[in-house]
Amino acid sequence: MADSHQRISEKVGIFMENVQRLPAEDGFSKELERLKEVDKATKPTGWSLSPEMVRLFILGGEINGQTISRKIYGNDDIIEKAIVTLIGQRGLLLAGEPGTAKSMLSELLAAAISGNSKLTVQGSAGIVEENIRYGWNYALLLKSGPSLDALVPGPLYQSMLQGQIMRFEELTRCPTEIQDNLIPVMSDKILHIPEIADEQLSFQLAKPGFNIIATANLKDRGVNEMSSALKRRFNFLTMHPLSKLSDQVSLINGEVNKQLESQNIAIQLDNQVTEVLATAFKDLREGSVEGQAIDKPNAIMSMAEAIEVGFTASVHAHYFGNNAVTPHNIADQLIGTVIKDDEDDIKRFKSYLKTVSRKRSSSEWQNFSGNA
């Protein structure tokens, strides 16, 4: 038996080393263990860490001479409100524009509180109840009828059974009747299984620690409006785009350089080039260059896309350049983000480049030009 466990452990270790991205509880496992070791504060029932340590895990800081990395930039007050909401066992809905780190915060909260961020539902127009609650092993169902052995637990069932947080991404992209499956569970903390005849087995009660964190894109809020009954069961918190250029630079540099390291690419973005990238996104998002109005493209221009532009520009410079990322690399990769399905955005981007060359005379901006 010990040998069997050892082999399983070794296989899991190999699997975890050969993935593109680890879940937060695995990627930051050393920090979480460190926080558990020093955590002497009172924990809500079912929580892995105290609220103070959850906040420290997300926003970073020093503890006992050791550094905990900052993972969310900006929205510090939202972090505290989110933690307080979850302590009160009320559902949490994180709303905001694309690229405001809603999903990242949801994952980090689940990792710190439950030690598991993988109980997740990805909302879409094609989702059905079985994707959320539970389904059936039809071979066992036909053989012996509805039973717990034949039941295939979904994320909601598992999170209630284990007393953990379930994440529901893009809730408003689901049809309203699918969204409303959450109402009785959030009200009564009980999931009924009417197919099972045995009254003692026909329900699952929520264990301490269970809760739901949902996200909603403000740009898509009207896709499927939430019912008023479901809205009442969530506390809505809005994530705002980063306003400080220094925060944007720190976030982009941190994420890009982490990706480059994972790909064994010996190159890094420097602050000067990243400032050009962050400023360009701000210009195009706000439709203004040094006080002069420009036509805004229809593209959203999210922070997630800024990180992707920084990464692809770095990769291009590494493999096909002189191993130094320049503003020209940034502008060249920015074209694919700005120009998606609106041909007029090509004209808008060309006009933006001309405006920049007139308004900004520093060397880095004179080198900022793409192949649009």
The CA distance from 48 to 183, in Å, is: 26
Task: Provide mean pLDDT across the span 318-336.
Answer: 90
The CA distance from 143 to 147, in Å, is: 11
CATH topology of domain 2-239: Rossmann fold (3.40.50)
Contact 338, 349 (CB under 8 A): yes
Residue 215's DSSP bridge partners are: 94
Of residues 186, 165, 155, the one with CA closest to residue 83:
165
Flag whether pLDDT at 244 surpasses 90: no
The CA distance from 177 to 227, in Å, is: 9
Residue 144: pLDDT band by 50, 70, 90 thresholds? confident
Say what the pLDDT of residue 321 is.
Answer: 86
Per-residue model confidence as pLDDT tens digits over 150-169 = 999 999 999 999 999 999 99
Of the candidate ranges 60-64, 162-166, 215-219, 290-294, the one whose mean pLDDT is the lowest: 215-219
Tokens of 98: 């694309």
Give 60's contacts (C-beta < 8 A, 6+ positions apart). 67, 68, 69, 70, 71
Say what the pLDDT of residue 371 is.
Answer: 58
Flag whether pLDDT at 327 surpasses 70: yes
Per-residue model confidence as pLDDT tens digits over 21-32 = 889 999 999 999
Task: Provide mean pLDDT across the span 245-265.
Answer: 89
Per-residue model confidence as pLDDT tens digits over 289-308 = 999 999 988 888 888 899 99
The full DSSP string for 23-48 is -HHHHTHHHHHHHHHH--S---TT-S
The CA distance from 327 to 350, in Å, is: 16
The CA distance from 121 to 191, in Å, is: 16
- State the pairing for strand pair 288-289/165-169: unpaired
pLDDT > 90: percent of the chain: 64
Per-residue model confidence as pLDDT tens digits over 172-208 = 999 999 999 999 999 999 999 999 988 888 899 999 9
Flag whether pLDDT at 130 surpasses 90: yes
Flag whether pLDDT at 222 surpasses 70: no
Per-residue model confidence as pLDDT tens digits over 305-326 = 999 999 999 999 999 988 889 9
Task: Provide mean pLDDT across the span 87-112.
Answer: 93
Domain segments of the chain as ranges = 2-239, 245-366
Residue 121 or 370, more confident? 121
User: What mean pLDDT is reported for the chain?
Assistant: 89
The full DSSP string for 296-308 is PPSS---HHHHHH
CA 29 vs CA 2, 23, 32, 64, 83: distances in Å? 24, 10, 5, 18, 20
